[in-house]
Structure 1
Amino acid sequence: MGGVLWAEPVWVETFTGLRMDRFAKLVKVVCERGGNGPGVGRHNYRFSANVQVIIDADTRLVVASARPAPGNKADAHVWRESDLPAKAVGTTVIADGAYLGTGLIVPHRKRAGRPLLRGQEEDNAEHRRVRARVEHTFARMKNWKILRDCRQKGDRLHHAVQALATMHNLALAG
């Protein structure tokens, strides 16, 4: 971490939101885990993938998954190109704000200088509650080593996601 020589606490707190002692701990942990410091990427990084999955918020079971797309493609674009919209016909699908214009239910956004109405705030609170269940399922799926360490391209990643979804569902079903 030779890139960070010295910084005034006011700048660290302004740009990171962390107190100086917390920032020092963070830098230490990043160094211990093999981080290369600011401005330098890891050398084992090959590519990222955009993997779309439909999860039932009530049961937390994975319902469907689409073929992976390159990680630099926008979520809404990948959704439209996948077979998931056809699989989701007749169901209510909620998504995060990255899916604007897809017909999915996304949170209300504030307009410049105009706060959200009370009903919109309540809608967003319910949206967050349901999305939290789905995001926890994503996090549990990412804990599986097969997906976390997967650097496969093409169908191999797709098959790994499908296998992981099956294992996830089996683990939940008991």
Structure 2
Amino acid sequence: MQVISADRHDFVEVFAGLGPMHFRRLVRAVERAGGRELVVGRPGRPWSLSLQDRVLLVAMYYRTNLTMRQLAPLFGISSAAVGRVIDRHSPWLALQPRRRRPKRNDVLIADGTLVPTRDRTVAAPSRNYRYSTNLQVVIKADTRLVFAVGHPVPGNCNDCIAFGTSGAEAACGQAFVVADGGYRGTTAIIPLRRKPGQQQLLPWQEAHNASHRRMRARVEHVFARMKTWKILRDCRRRGHGVFWATSAVAHMHNLAYGWSL
């Protein structure tokens, strides 16, 4: 017996973190991305759940971080079927790459966040005292929406290295990228530093750094909102699952704020 269904709007808002209109947009985006691989009329054994219920299952998994054994009775399917739904649909919920590269006058903000991960192949002991992976996230400065998510690198990797190796720097193109002081040696604009022998910064340099900090705070606010999806507090996915989970959370974060990049 199925307990939770996408037909109930109150279930969608509580367990997916999206309003009914935003959830319908997510379902349409998944249908466009997955195409015939996810629809009911595809060849082979049919899905026991409708497409919107499958999307709700994956969104609920990311939102609550419940185990597959806990999700199975709520949707009236087996735990193995829950695993198949999550594995098959996760890439389609992810934030899709932008077709157009950012322009020169676009302003982006980049920063990295540590996601505790069970998979030791993409994680390492980090400053949060857990095995974590470093995920680079780039947002648009004007809309505060996620623009791109880099591929995971071990959590002990510095941001200046992770920014390039994760593919986040390449996704930014020729746009202006604002970042903190950990991005020295990259194309990002970082705060001004004192030169050797300089006791303190000049007044105009202090003013520049103050405005720089206010702008960089926007990406910290985005991290706080994204981590209301509890999968980013303890990710049990392996391999590319960490990347798909973070990209899907970024996609749902953008939809929750009523914007479409």
Q: TM-score, normalised by structure 2?
A: 0.47
User: What's the CA shift string for 1:11-44, capped at 9, x where partnerless?
Assistant: xxxxxxxxxxxxxxxxxxxxxxxxxxxxxxxxxx
Deviation of 1:156 after TM superposition, in Å, equals: 0.5
Structure 2 residue aligned with 1:51: 135
What are the equivalent positions in structure 2 for 1:142-153 lying under 5 Å apart?
142-153=227-238
* Partner secondary structure for residue 147 of structure 2: strand
- 1:110 is displaced (CA, Å) by 2.8
Map of 2:150 onto structure 1: 66
Paired AA for residue 146 in structure 1: I
1:117 aligns with 2:167: no
**Counterpart mapping for 1:99-138 below 5 A:** 99-111=183-195, 113-138=198-223
Alpha-carbon distance between aligned partners in 2 of 1:158 and 1:99, rounded to the nearest angstrom:
21
Unaligned runs of 5+ in 2: 1-128
Q: For residues 162 and 135 of structure 1, what CA distance do their matches in structure 2 show? A: 17
| TM-aligned CA deviation for residue 119 of structure 1 | 1.5
Q: What's the secondary structure of 1:129's corresponding residue?
A: helix
Contact 1:47 1:71 in 2 (8 A): yes
Contact map agreement 1:47 1:151 (CA 8 A) in 2 = no
1:80 aligned partner, one-letter code: G
What's the offset of the Cα at 1:154?
2.1
Q: Is contact 1:46–1:151 with CA below 8 Å preserved after alignment?
A: no
Point out which structure has higher relative CO (alpha carbons under 8 A, 6+ apart).
2
Match of 2:180?
A: 96
Per-residue deviation, 1:46 = 5.7
Q: Distance in 2 between matches of 1:108 and 1:62?
A: 26
Q: Which one-letter code corresponds to 1:154 in the other structure?
A: G
Question: Are the counterparts in 2 of residues 56 and 63 from structure 1 also a CA contact under 8 Å?
Answer: yes
What letter is aligned with 2:184? L
Q: Structure 2 CA distance, aligned partners of 1:58 and 1:79?
A: 21
Q: Compute the displacement of 1:106 (Å).
A: 0.5
Which of 78, 87, 95 is the matching residue for 2:162? 78
Q: Which amino acid aligns with 1:58?
A: D
Q: Please tell me the residue identity of whatever aligns with 1:142.
A: K
Counterpart Cα distance in 2 of 1:127 and 1:152 = 35
Distance 1:159 1:147, change over 3 A: same
Q: Cα deviation per residue 1:47-88 (whole Å; 9 max; x = unaligned)?
A: 111000101121111000011110011111111212222211
Give the share of equivalent positions with the same residue, in percent: 52
SS of corresponding position for 2:185: coil
Q: Deviations over 1:109-157 (max 9, x none)?
A: 2345521111211110110110111111111112211211214342010
- Residue 169, structure 1, aligned to residue 254, structure 2: yes
1:141 touches 1:164 (CA, 8 Å); kept in 2? yes
- Alpha-carbon separation, structure 1, partners of 2:237 and 2:203: 46
